[in-house]
Chain A
Amino acid sequence: MAASAQEIELAQLIVTSLNLEVSADEIEPDAPLYGEGLGLDSIDILELSLAISKTYGVQLKSDDADNNKIFSSLRTLNEHIQQHRAK
Protein backbone atom coordinates (compact mmCIF):
# COMPACT_ATOMS: atom_id res chain seq x y z
CA MET A 1 0.00 0.00 0.00
CA ALA A 2 1.37 3.45 -0.86
CA ALA A 3 2.32 5.89 1.87
CA SER A 4 -0.19 8.54 2.91
CA ALA A 5 0.66 12.24 3.01
CA GLN A 6 1.01 12.06 6.79
CA GLU A 7 3.35 9.11 6.49
CA ILE A 8 5.52 10.91 3.95
CA GLU A 9 5.70 13.90 6.28
CA LEU A 10 6.84 11.64 9.11
CA ALA A 11 9.30 9.86 6.81
CA GLN A 12 10.77 13.27 6.00
CA LEU A 13 11.24 13.97 9.73
CA ILE A 14 12.99 10.60 10.14
CA VAL A 15 15.34 11.21 7.22
CA THR A 16 16.21 14.74 8.32
CA SER A 17 16.65 14.15 12.02
CA LEU A 18 18.71 10.97 11.53
CA ASN A 19 20.69 12.26 8.55
CA LEU A 20 19.77 9.17 6.51
CA GLU A 21 21.01 8.57 2.98
CA VAL A 22 17.60 7.41 1.71
CA SER A 23 14.89 9.84 0.61
CA ALA A 24 11.55 10.03 2.39
CA ASP A 25 9.55 8.39 -0.40
CA GLU A 26 11.91 5.41 -0.41
CA ILE A 27 10.84 4.35 3.09
CA GLU A 28 8.37 1.50 2.78
CA PRO A 29 5.42 2.18 5.11
CA ASP A 30 5.32 -1.42 6.34
CA ALA A 31 9.07 -2.18 6.48
CA PRO A 32 10.66 -2.44 9.95
CA LEU A 33 12.40 0.65 11.31
CA TYR A 34 14.66 -1.24 13.73
CA GLY A 35 17.56 -3.48 12.74
CA GLU A 36 17.09 -4.95 9.25
CA GLY A 37 14.96 -2.66 7.15
CA LEU A 38 15.89 0.93 7.86
CA GLY A 39 18.66 -0.20 10.23
CA LEU A 40 17.95 2.10 13.18
CA ASP A 41 19.27 1.37 16.67
CA SER A 42 18.21 2.44 20.15
CA ILE A 43 20.09 5.77 20.01
CA ASP A 44 18.38 6.62 16.70
CA ILE A 45 15.06 5.85 18.34
CA LEU A 46 15.89 8.27 21.20
CA GLU A 47 16.77 10.99 18.70
CA LEU A 48 13.64 10.32 16.71
CA SER A 49 11.49 10.26 19.86
CA LEU A 50 12.60 13.74 20.84
CA ALA A 51 12.18 15.06 17.30
CA ILE A 52 8.62 13.65 17.32
CA SER A 53 7.92 15.17 20.74
CA LYS A 54 9.05 18.56 19.51
CA THR A 55 7.07 18.34 16.25
CA TYR A 56 3.85 16.60 17.30
CA GLY A 57 3.79 17.03 21.09
CA VAL A 58 3.69 13.26 21.59
CA GLN A 59 5.93 11.95 24.35
CA LEU A 60 7.60 8.67 23.49
CA LYS A 61 9.35 6.92 26.37
CA SER A 62 12.28 4.57 25.85
CA ASP A 63 10.91 2.18 28.50
CA ASP A 64 7.38 1.97 27.08
CA ALA A 65 6.40 -1.71 26.86
CA ASP A 66 4.57 -1.00 23.58
CA ASN A 67 7.67 0.41 21.82
CA ASN A 68 8.25 -2.63 19.65
CA LYS A 69 4.72 -2.21 18.33
CA ILE A 70 4.86 1.59 18.01
CA PHE A 71 8.22 1.64 16.22
CA SER A 72 7.68 -1.50 14.17
CA SER A 73 7.12 0.46 10.94
CA LEU A 74 6.49 3.93 9.55
CA ARG A 75 2.79 3.06 9.42
CA THR A 76 2.47 1.96 13.06
CA LEU A 77 4.51 4.94 14.25
CA ASN A 78 2.31 7.34 12.28
CA GLU A 79 -0.85 5.72 13.66
CA HIS A 80 0.43 6.15 17.21
CA ILE A 81 1.35 9.80 16.61
CA GLN A 82 -1.99 10.66 14.98
CA GLN A 83 -3.87 9.11 17.92
CA HIS A 84 -1.90 11.06 20.51
CA ARG A 85 -0.77 14.25 18.81
CA ALA A 86 -1.21 17.52 20.67
CA LYS A 87 -0.08 19.80 17.86
Chain B
Amino acid sequence: MNPIHLAGRGLACSLGLSVEQALATLRQGGSQASQVTLPGAMAGNYPFQGIPYSQADWNERARELVQRVAAEAGAQPIRDGVLLIATSSFDIGAVERCATQMDYQAFADKIAAWLDWSGRVHVVNTACTSSLNALLAAQALLRSGAAADALVLGVELDNRLTLGGFAALQLLSRTASQPFGAQRDGLVLGEAVAALRLSTRDPALWKLAGGANVVDGEQPTGASVRAVNEMCARALADSGAAADSIDLVKVQAAGSPGNDAVEAQGLREAFPVLPPLVSLKAAMGHTMGASGAAEIALLTACLEQGVWPACGHEMDAELGVGLAPAMPQNVRRFMATILGFGGSHASVVLERA
Protein backbone atom coordinates (compact mmCIF):
# COMPACT_ATOMS: atom_id res chain seq x y z
CA MET B 1 0.00 0.00 0.00
CA ASN B 2 1.46 3.35 -1.05
CA PRO B 3 1.49 6.08 1.56
CA ILE B 4 -1.13 8.80 1.17
CA HIS B 5 0.65 12.12 0.97
CA LEU B 6 -0.69 15.54 1.74
CA ALA B 7 0.52 16.76 -1.62
CA GLY B 8 -1.08 20.19 -1.56
CA ARG B 9 -3.14 22.55 0.57
CA GLY B 10 -5.06 25.77 0.15
CA LEU B 11 -6.90 27.99 2.59
CA ALA B 12 -9.05 31.07 2.76
CA CYS B 13 -10.21 32.01 6.25
CA SER B 14 -10.47 35.02 8.54
CA LEU B 15 -6.66 35.08 8.73
CA GLY B 16 -6.21 35.58 5.01
CA LEU B 17 -6.76 34.36 1.48
CA SER B 18 -3.90 31.86 1.33
CA VAL B 19 -1.90 29.69 3.71
CA GLU B 20 0.98 32.18 3.55
CA GLN B 21 -1.30 35.13 4.34
CA ALA B 22 -2.87 33.24 7.23
CA LEU B 23 0.58 32.47 8.66
CA ALA B 24 1.63 36.10 8.31
CA THR B 25 -1.49 37.24 10.18
CA LEU B 26 -0.88 34.66 12.92
CA ARG B 27 2.71 35.87 13.28
CA GLN B 28 1.32 39.33 14.00
CA GLY B 29 -1.00 38.00 16.69
CA GLY B 30 -4.10 37.09 14.65
CA SER B 31 -7.08 38.95 13.24
CA GLN B 32 -9.93 40.80 14.90
CA ALA B 33 -13.34 39.16 14.66
CA SER B 34 -16.09 41.19 13.03
CA GLN B 35 -19.58 41.52 14.51
CA VAL B 36 -22.85 40.21 13.15
CA THR B 37 -26.21 41.34 14.46
CA LEU B 38 -29.03 38.84 14.83
CA PRO B 39 -32.68 39.90 15.16
CA GLY B 40 -35.49 38.85 17.43
CA ALA B 41 -35.76 37.19 20.80
CA MET B 42 -32.03 36.70 21.38
CA ALA B 43 -31.15 39.87 19.50
CA GLY B 44 -27.69 41.30 19.66
CA ASN B 45 -24.17 41.25 18.34
CA TYR B 46 -22.09 38.14 17.99
CA PRO B 47 -18.43 37.99 16.96
CA PHE B 48 -17.84 36.27 13.61
CA GLN B 49 -14.62 35.31 11.80
CA GLY B 50 -15.46 36.14 8.19
CA ILE B 51 -13.12 35.82 5.22
CA PRO B 52 -11.78 39.32 4.39
CA TYR B 53 -12.97 39.23 0.80
CA SER B 54 -15.75 41.46 -0.49
CA GLN B 55 -17.98 40.62 -3.41
CA ALA B 56 -21.65 41.49 -3.45
CA ASP B 57 -22.81 38.38 -5.27
CA TRP B 58 -22.74 35.27 -3.04
CA ASN B 59 -22.14 32.78 -5.86
CA GLU B 60 -19.47 34.93 -7.47
CA ARG B 61 -17.63 35.28 -4.16
CA ALA B 62 -17.86 31.53 -3.54
CA ARG B 63 -16.58 30.81 -7.05
CA GLU B 64 -13.58 33.10 -6.68
CA LEU B 65 -12.67 31.69 -3.26
CA VAL B 66 -13.11 28.05 -4.31
CA GLN B 67 -11.03 28.51 -7.46
CA ARG B 68 -8.33 30.35 -5.58
CA VAL B 69 -8.04 27.77 -2.80
CA ALA B 70 -8.14 24.79 -5.17
CA ALA B 71 -5.41 26.38 -7.28
CA GLU B 72 -3.27 26.94 -4.19
CA ALA B 73 -3.62 23.23 -3.38
CA GLY B 74 -2.45 22.33 -6.88
CA ALA B 75 -5.78 20.81 -7.94
CA GLN B 76 -5.46 21.64 -11.62
CA PRO B 77 -3.56 18.48 -12.74
CA ILE B 78 -5.83 16.05 -10.83
CA ARG B 79 -9.20 17.13 -12.16
CA ASP B 80 -9.93 13.55 -13.23
CA GLY B 81 -9.42 12.36 -9.62
CA VAL B 82 -11.95 12.27 -6.81
CA LEU B 83 -13.43 15.51 -5.49
CA LEU B 84 -14.93 15.30 -2.02
CA ILE B 85 -16.79 18.46 -1.07
CA ALA B 86 -17.31 18.84 2.68
CA THR B 87 -19.95 21.27 3.92
CA SER B 88 -22.73 21.61 6.45
CA SER B 89 -24.38 24.61 4.82
CA PHE B 90 -23.97 24.05 1.05
CA ASP B 91 -24.90 27.29 -0.75
CA ILE B 92 -27.65 28.19 1.70
CA GLY B 93 -26.25 31.74 1.82
CA ALA B 94 -27.25 32.09 -1.84
CA VAL B 95 -30.64 30.47 -1.17
CA GLU B 96 -31.25 33.06 1.57
CA ARG B 97 -30.58 35.78 -0.98
CA CYS B 98 -32.98 34.07 -3.40
CA ALA B 99 -30.05 33.58 -5.79
CA THR B 100 -30.54 29.84 -6.07
CA GLN B 101 -32.70 26.89 -4.98
CA MET B 102 -31.74 24.43 -2.24
CA ASP B 103 -30.53 21.46 -4.29
CA TYR B 104 -27.63 19.18 -3.33
CA GLN B 105 -26.85 18.05 -6.85
CA ALA B 106 -26.98 21.54 -8.35
CA PHE B 107 -24.53 22.65 -5.63
CA ALA B 108 -22.14 19.79 -6.45
CA ASP B 109 -22.45 20.45 -10.19
CA LYS B 110 -21.79 24.15 -9.68
CA ILE B 111 -18.55 23.56 -7.78
CA ALA B 112 -17.42 20.86 -10.23
CA ALA B 113 -17.99 23.35 -13.06
CA TRP B 114 -16.03 26.09 -11.27
CA LEU B 115 -13.09 23.68 -11.02
CA ASP B 116 -13.60 22.17 -14.46
CA TRP B 117 -13.65 18.83 -12.64
CA SER B 118 -14.07 15.72 -14.79
CA GLY B 119 -13.67 13.01 -12.12
CA ARG B 120 -16.09 11.73 -9.48
CA VAL B 121 -17.68 14.17 -7.06
CA HIS B 122 -19.20 13.39 -3.66
CA VAL B 123 -20.66 15.86 -1.15
CA VAL B 124 -20.14 14.83 2.47
CA ASN B 125 -22.15 16.47 5.24
CA THR B 126 -21.64 15.22 8.76
CA ALA B 127 -21.93 18.74 10.19
CA CYS B 128 -18.72 19.92 11.92
CA THR B 129 -16.81 16.73 11.07
CA SER B 130 -17.58 16.90 7.31
CA SER B 131 -14.00 17.61 6.21
CA LEU B 132 -12.50 14.87 8.34
CA ASN B 133 -15.09 12.38 7.11
CA ALA B 134 -14.33 13.44 3.54
CA LEU B 135 -10.65 12.86 4.35
CA LEU B 136 -11.45 9.38 5.68
CA ALA B 137 -13.46 8.60 2.54
CA ALA B 138 -10.61 9.86 0.35
CA GLN B 139 -8.17 7.75 2.33
CA ALA B 140 -10.32 4.64 1.77
CA LEU B 141 -10.55 5.27 -1.99
CA LEU B 142 -6.80 5.83 -2.26
CA ARG B 143 -5.98 2.81 -0.10
CA SER B 144 -8.24 0.60 -2.21
CA GLY B 145 -6.50 1.78 -5.35
CA ALA B 146 -9.77 3.09 -6.81
CA ALA B 147 -8.05 6.47 -7.22
CA ALA B 148 -4.54 7.89 -6.97
CA ASP B 149 -5.49 11.51 -6.30
CA ALA B 150 -8.23 13.18 -4.33
CA LEU B 151 -9.13 16.71 -3.35
CA VAL B 152 -10.98 17.34 -0.11
CA LEU B 153 -12.63 20.73 -0.38
CA GLY B 154 -14.21 22.18 2.75
CA VAL B 155 -16.69 24.97 2.01
CA GLU B 156 -18.41 26.94 4.74
CA LEU B 157 -19.48 30.41 3.67
CA ASP B 158 -21.53 33.28 5.01
CA ASN B 159 -25.12 32.35 5.84
CA ARG B 160 -27.73 33.21 8.43
CA LEU B 161 -29.02 29.68 8.94
CA THR B 162 -25.94 28.40 10.75
CA LEU B 163 -25.50 31.58 12.80
CA GLY B 164 -29.19 31.74 13.69
CA GLY B 165 -29.36 28.06 14.56
CA PHE B 166 -26.31 28.22 16.80
CA ALA B 167 -27.60 31.38 18.47
CA ALA B 168 -30.98 29.71 19.06
CA LEU B 169 -29.22 26.75 20.65
CA GLN B 170 -27.34 29.28 22.83
CA LEU B 171 -23.98 27.92 21.71
CA LEU B 172 -22.41 31.23 20.66
CA SER B 173 -20.14 33.45 22.69
CA ARG B 174 -20.96 37.15 22.84
CA THR B 175 -17.29 37.96 23.40
CA ALA B 176 -14.59 35.61 22.11
CA SER B 177 -13.67 31.97 21.65
CA GLN B 178 -11.62 30.80 24.65
CA PRO B 179 -10.75 27.11 24.16
CA PHE B 180 -10.34 25.32 27.52
CA GLY B 181 -10.56 28.80 29.08
CA ALA B 182 -11.69 29.59 32.61
CA GLN B 183 -14.07 32.24 31.24
CA ARG B 184 -15.20 30.35 28.12
CA ASP B 185 -18.82 31.08 27.22
CA GLY B 186 -19.40 29.58 23.79
CA LEU B 187 -17.99 29.36 20.33
CA VAL B 188 -17.39 31.86 17.57
CA LEU B 189 -18.33 30.80 14.06
CA GLY B 190 -16.16 31.50 11.04
CA GLU B 191 -15.98 31.15 7.29
CA ALA B 192 -13.46 29.00 5.45
CA VAL B 193 -12.74 27.43 2.13
CA ALA B 194 -9.97 24.88 2.51
CA ALA B 195 -8.46 22.25 0.25
CA LEU B 196 -6.28 19.24 1.02
CA ARG B 197 -4.84 17.39 -1.97
CA LEU B 198 -4.05 13.76 -1.30
CA SER B 199 -1.91 11.64 -3.56
CA THR B 200 -0.36 8.19 -3.61
CA ARG B 201 1.93 9.42 -6.41
CA ASP B 202 3.35 12.78 -5.39
CA PRO B 203 5.75 12.74 -2.43
CA ALA B 204 5.27 15.46 0.20
CA LEU B 205 6.30 16.50 3.70
CA TRP B 206 3.28 14.98 5.42
CA LYS B 207 1.30 11.80 5.00
CA LEU B 208 -2.11 10.76 6.25
CA ALA B 209 -1.52 7.74 8.47
CA GLY B 210 -5.13 6.96 9.34
CA GLY B 211 -8.13 8.02 11.33
CA ALA B 212 -11.57 7.17 12.64
CA ASN B 213 -15.05 8.55 13.05
CA VAL B 214 -17.37 7.45 15.83
CA VAL B 215 -21.01 8.52 15.94
CA ASP B 216 -22.61 8.32 19.35
CA GLY B 217 -26.26 9.20 19.85
CA GLU B 218 -25.90 10.00 23.54
CA GLN B 219 -25.75 13.77 22.93
CA PRO B 220 -27.30 14.91 19.65
CA THR B 221 -25.67 18.34 19.87
CA GLY B 222 -22.36 17.48 21.46
CA ALA B 223 -19.62 15.07 22.36
CA SER B 224 -19.56 12.14 24.77
CA VAL B 225 -16.56 11.06 26.83
CA ARG B 226 -16.83 7.39 25.86
CA ALA B 227 -16.93 8.28 22.15
CA VAL B 228 -13.89 10.60 22.42
CA ASN B 229 -12.09 7.68 24.01
CA GLU B 230 -13.19 5.23 21.37
CA MET B 231 -12.38 7.67 18.56
CA CYS B 232 -8.81 8.03 19.83
CA ALA B 233 -8.37 4.26 20.15
CA ARG B 234 -9.75 3.58 16.69
CA ALA B 235 -7.77 6.40 15.05
CA LEU B 236 -4.53 5.17 16.63
CA ALA B 237 -5.23 1.57 15.60
CA ASP B 238 -6.05 2.59 12.01
CA SER B 239 -2.80 4.60 11.88
CA GLY B 240 -0.69 1.86 13.41
CA ALA B 241 0.47 4.38 16.01
CA ALA B 242 0.79 4.06 19.77
CA ALA B 243 -0.65 6.71 22.08
CA ASP B 244 2.82 7.68 23.28
CA SER B 245 4.01 8.30 19.71
CA ILE B 246 1.60 11.23 19.26
CA ASP B 247 3.61 14.46 19.66
CA LEU B 248 0.67 16.88 19.47
CA VAL B 249 -3.13 16.84 19.46
CA LYS B 250 -5.04 19.51 17.63
CA VAL B 251 -8.19 19.53 19.68
CA GLN B 252 -11.75 20.50 18.81
CA ALA B 253 -11.93 22.84 21.82
CA ALA B 254 -13.87 25.88 20.63
CA GLY B 255 -14.71 27.45 23.97
CA SER B 256 -18.00 25.66 24.71
CA PRO B 257 -18.55 25.24 28.43
CA GLY B 258 -19.82 21.66 28.12
CA ASN B 259 -18.09 20.27 25.06
CA ASP B 260 -14.60 21.46 26.01
CA ALA B 261 -14.95 19.67 29.35
CA VAL B 262 -16.13 16.45 27.70
CA GLU B 263 -13.22 16.54 25.25
CA ALA B 264 -10.70 17.24 28.01
CA GLN B 265 -11.92 14.30 30.04
CA GLY B 266 -11.98 11.98 27.02
CA LEU B 267 -8.40 12.92 26.10
CA ARG B 268 -7.17 12.42 29.65
CA GLU B 269 -8.69 8.94 29.62
CA ALA B 270 -7.39 8.04 26.15
CA PHE B 271 -3.79 9.18 26.69
CA PRO B 272 -1.90 7.87 29.75
CA VAL B 273 0.48 10.81 29.26
CA LEU B 274 -1.25 13.70 27.54
CA PRO B 275 0.67 15.13 24.53
CA PRO B 276 0.85 18.94 24.04
CA LEU B 277 -2.47 20.35 22.80
CA VAL B 278 -3.27 23.11 20.33
CA SER B 279 -6.58 24.72 19.30
CA LEU B 280 -7.04 26.92 16.24
CA LYS B 281 -10.60 27.95 17.08
CA ALA B 282 -9.62 31.25 18.73
CA ALA B 283 -7.55 32.14 15.65
CA MET B 284 -10.03 31.34 12.88
CA GLY B 285 -13.35 30.62 14.57
CA HIS B 286 -15.26 27.37 14.20
CA THR B 287 -15.54 26.89 10.47
CA MET B 288 -17.98 23.99 10.77
CA GLY B 289 -17.81 21.52 7.87
CA ALA B 290 -14.63 23.16 6.56
CA SER B 291 -12.87 23.14 9.93
CA GLY B 292 -11.08 19.80 9.62
CA ALA B 293 -9.44 20.71 6.31
CA ALA B 294 -8.87 24.36 7.25
CA GLU B 295 -7.17 23.54 10.55
CA ILE B 296 -4.96 20.81 9.03
CA ALA B 297 -3.91 23.16 6.21
CA LEU B 298 -2.97 25.83 8.75
CA LEU B 299 -1.43 23.57 11.37
CA THR B 300 0.92 21.73 8.97
CA ALA B 301 2.11 25.13 7.71
CA CYS B 302 2.56 26.36 11.31
CA LEU B 303 4.66 23.32 12.15
CA GLU B 304 6.81 23.73 9.05
CA GLN B 305 7.45 27.41 9.58
CA GLY B 306 7.56 27.66 13.35
CA VAL B 307 4.48 29.87 13.75
CA TRP B 308 2.28 29.24 16.79
CA PRO B 309 -1.20 30.62 17.56
CA ALA B 310 -1.19 32.98 20.53
CA CYS B 311 -3.21 31.80 23.50
CA GLY B 312 -3.96 34.86 25.58
CA HIS B 313 -6.72 33.62 27.84
CA GLU B 314 -6.49 31.97 31.22
CA MET B 315 -6.89 28.18 31.21
CA ASP B 316 -9.57 26.41 33.22
CA ALA B 317 -7.59 24.57 35.90
CA GLU B 318 -10.53 22.28 36.62
CA LEU B 319 -10.24 20.65 33.20
CA GLY B 320 -6.78 19.26 33.95
CA VAL B 321 -5.55 20.14 30.45
CA GLY B 322 -4.02 23.22 28.85
CA LEU B 323 -2.93 24.49 25.47
CA ALA B 324 0.76 24.50 24.58
CA PRO B 325 1.97 28.11 24.90
CA ALA B 326 4.73 27.54 22.32
CA MET B 327 5.34 25.13 19.48
CA PRO B 328 6.52 21.74 20.78
CA GLN B 329 9.89 20.63 19.40
CA ASN B 330 10.14 17.89 16.77
CA VAL B 331 6.49 17.17 16.08
CA ARG B 332 6.71 14.06 13.89
CA ARG B 333 3.18 12.81 14.31
CA PHE B 334 0.01 14.65 15.32
CA MET B 335 -3.64 13.90 15.76
CA ALA B 336 -6.32 16.33 14.52
CA THR B 337 -9.77 16.07 16.03
CA ILE B 338 -13.16 17.58 15.29
CA LEU B 339 -16.21 16.86 17.43
CA GLY B 340 -19.63 18.03 16.52
CA PHE B 341 -23.33 17.99 15.91
CA GLY B 342 -24.92 14.68 15.15
CA GLY B 343 -22.82 13.02 17.86
CA SER B 344 -19.93 12.82 15.43
CA HIS B 345 -16.37 12.39 16.74
CA ALA B 346 -13.64 12.32 14.10
CA SER B 347 -9.88 12.24 14.27
CA VAL B 348 -7.04 11.73 11.81
CA VAL B 349 -3.33 11.14 12.32
CA LEU B 350 -0.75 12.85 10.13
CA GLU B 351 2.96 12.15 10.23
CA ARG B 352 6.09 13.45 8.56
CA ALA B 353 6.79 11.39 5.46
Contacts and interface: CB of A to CB of B under 8 A. Distances in A.
B220 interface: yes
B169 A53 contact: no
Contact of B170 (A54, A57, A63): A63
Contacts of B168: 46, 50
A48 to B, nearest CB: 12
A35 to B, nearest CB: 16
18 contacts: A43-B221, A46-B168, A46-B169, A46-B170, A49-B170, A50-B42, A53-B40, A53-B41, A53-B42, A54-B40, A57-B41, A59-B41, A59-B42, A61-B170, A62-B170, A63-B170, A63-B185, A63-B257
Contacts of A63: 170, 185, 257
A41 to B, nearest CB: 10
Interface string B9-47: 000000000000000000000000000000011100000
B220 A54 contact: no
Interface residues of B, number: 10
A62 B168 CA distance: 10
A85 B170 CA distance: 20
Interface string A31-71: 00000000000010010011001100101011100000000
Interface of A: 43, 46, 49-50, 53-54, 57, 59, 61-63
Nearest to A49: B170
Contacts of B185: 63
Q: Which of B168, B170, B185, B257 has the most CB of A within 10 A?
A: B170
Interface string B212-233: 0000000011000000000000
Given A50-B41, A50-B168, A62-B170, 8 more contacts: A43-B220, A46-B168, A53-B41, A53-B42, A54-B40, A54-B41, A57-B41, A59-B41
A49 B185 CA distance: 18
A59 B170 CA distance: 11
Q: Which of B41, B42, B169, B220 has the most CB of A within 10 A?
A: B41
A46 B168 CA distance: 8
Interface string B169-184: 1100000000000000
Contacts of A43: 220-221
A57 B42 CA distance: 10
B105 to A, nearest CB: 31
Interface in B245-290: 257
Nearest to B185: A63
A36 B72 CA distance: 56
Contacts of A50: 41-42, 168
B220 to A, nearest CB: 7
Nearest to B44: A59
A62 B256 CA distance: 12
B166 to A, nearest CB: 11
Nearest to A63: B257
Contacts of B221: 43
B83 to A, nearest CB: 35
Q: Shortest 5 CB-CB distances between A and B: which pairs?
A: A53-B41, A62-B170, A54-B41, A50-B168, A50-B41
A61 B170 CA distance: 8
A49 B221 CA distance: 17
Contacts of B170: 46, 49, 61-63
A65 to B, nearest CB: 13
Interface in B174-222: 185, 220-221
Contacts of B42: 50, 53, 59
A49 B257 CA distance: 19
